[in-house]
């Protein structure tokens, strides 16, 4: 009986820790919440959005293959297998990089659509974005558009 209880405990503990958020993923969730709070007509600077973390932002549209993400980043990103970007169309993946490593990432629900930004080039920390309506996507949907 004790052995069975121990095995159940060990199995439960190992399963519950399997999907625990990494520091980069948790940081990304916080930044994603800031982005979610932006309203139509707002202009956001990347520096403000990320609070000084990272130096460039990469955006990957839905269905981007893992090989393209790694090639675009210029290195193999170990946490990429935690994302669903290559399989689903309801999220856009953004990745914040500093000194050749990922410091924050988030699968942004497409109610804030970033897909137009996913062109395989990094956006520098000083980049500015306007929040616009996303016509044709449904009521309340917004999109981020780079401001030159």
Kindly give the residue spans of alpha helices, DSSP state H, lying in 2-144.
Answer: 2-16, 23-36, 46-50, 66-73
Q: Is residue 56 part of a domain?
A: yes
- Domain residues for 128? 23-147
Report yes or no on 2 lying in a domain: no
- Distance of alpha carbon 114 from alpha carbon 17, whole angstroms: 30
- Residue 138 inside a domain? The answer is yes
The fraction of the chain above a pLDDT of 90, given in percent, is 23
Residue 66 lies in a domain: yes
Q: What is the percentage of the chain residues whose pLDDT exceeds 70?
A: 84
Q: Quick one: residue 63, left, alpha or beta (phi over 0 = left, psi -120 to 50 = alpha)? A: left
13 is a domain residue? no
> Which of helix, strand or coil describes residue 123?
strand
Query: In angstroms, how far is CA 94 from the centroid of its own chain?
Result: 4
pLDDT at 8 over 80: no
In a domain, 104, yes or no: yes
Residue 37 backbone phi and psi in degrees, to 5:
-80, -10
pLDDT in tens, 57-81: 999 988 999 999 999 999 999 999 9
Total number of domains constituting the chain: 1
Strands 128-133 and 142-147 come out as antiparallel
Dist. CA 95–CA 97, nearest whole Å: 6
Predicted local confidence at residue 5, as pLDDT: 36
Q: Is residue 86 part of a domain?
A: yes
Q: Which two tokens stand for residue 75?
A: 């290195």
DSSP-based three-state secondary structure for 111: coil
Residue 107 falls inside a structural domain: yes
Give the residue, 100 or 111, on which the prediction is more confident: 100
């Amino acid at each position: 009986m004790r052995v069975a209880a121990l095995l159940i405990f060990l199995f439960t503990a190992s399963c519950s820790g399997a999907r625990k958020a990494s520091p980069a993923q948790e940081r990304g969730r916080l930044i994603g919440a800031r982005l979610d709070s932006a309203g139509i007509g707002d202009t956001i600077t990347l520096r403000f959005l990320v609070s000084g973390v990272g130096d460039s932002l990469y955006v990957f549209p839905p269905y981007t293959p893992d090989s393209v993400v790694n090639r675009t980043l210029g290195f193999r990103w170990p946490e990429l297998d935690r994302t669903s970007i290559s399989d689903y169309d309801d999220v856009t993946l953004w990745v914040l990089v500093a000194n050749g490593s990922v410091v924050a990432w988030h699968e942004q629900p497409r109610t804030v659509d970033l897909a137009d930004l996913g062109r395989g080039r990094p956006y520098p920390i000083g980049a500015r974005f306007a929040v616009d309506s996303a016509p044709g996507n449904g009521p309340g949907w917004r999109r981020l558009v780079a401001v030159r």
